[in-house]
Structure 1
Amino acid sequence: MRPEIDVPTSTILSISSLRDQLCWWPNITLSCIFFVTFATASFITMRFYAKEK
């Protein structure tokens, strides 16, 4: 039988760096930058390098 260990939720959230009031804005900004970059790169690749036969 394993002993039950109580771990507060705040400890788990701070360890995994999901502190909502501290890091949410840089994460959203970085995600938007990655999305726009990869969407633009994929559009350019499809537009100029994918040819129909």
Structure 2
Amino acid sequence: MISDSQLYSLALFLGGASVLLIVLYHYLEINAENTDDLSEERKADAVPVKAAGKVKS
């Protein structure tokens, strides 16, 4: 049977490992080079169009 101290150590290790993996994933995702060519439709969605002087409230 696993003791409380072993369970505590396992939980700390797995929690720390998951945090490190999440940080690594975000670092790699942010620094990844984007090589996808966007279609014209997707380019229109990606760039916001300025309103013609009217502001919706």
User: Which range, TM-score by smaller chain?
Assistant: 0.5 to 0.7
Larger Rg: 2
Given residue 25 of structure 2, which amino acid in structure 1 is its aligned partner? S
SS at match of 1:49: coil
Corresponding residue for residue 34 of structure 1: 17
User: Greater helix share, 1 or 2?
Assistant: 1
**Residues 50 and 39 (structure 1), Cα distance of their counterparts in 2 relative to 1, 3 Å cut:** farther
For the aligned residues, what is the CA RMSD?
Answer: 1.5
* CA distances 1:8-53 after superposition (whole Å, capped 9, x unpaired): xxxxx3xxxxx13230110000001100000100111011114252
Q: For CA contacts below 8 A with separation 6 or more, give which structure has more relative contact order.
A: 1
Corresponding residue for residue 29 of structure 2: 46
TM-score using structure 1 length: 0.56
Gaps of 5+ in 2: 37-57
Q: Size of the alignment, in residue pairs? A: 36
**Residues 25 and 42 (structure 1), Cα distance of their counterparts in 2 relative to 1, 3 Å cut:** same
Gaps of 5+ in 1: 1-12, 14-18
Identity value in percent: 3
Deviation >3 Å, runs of 4+: none
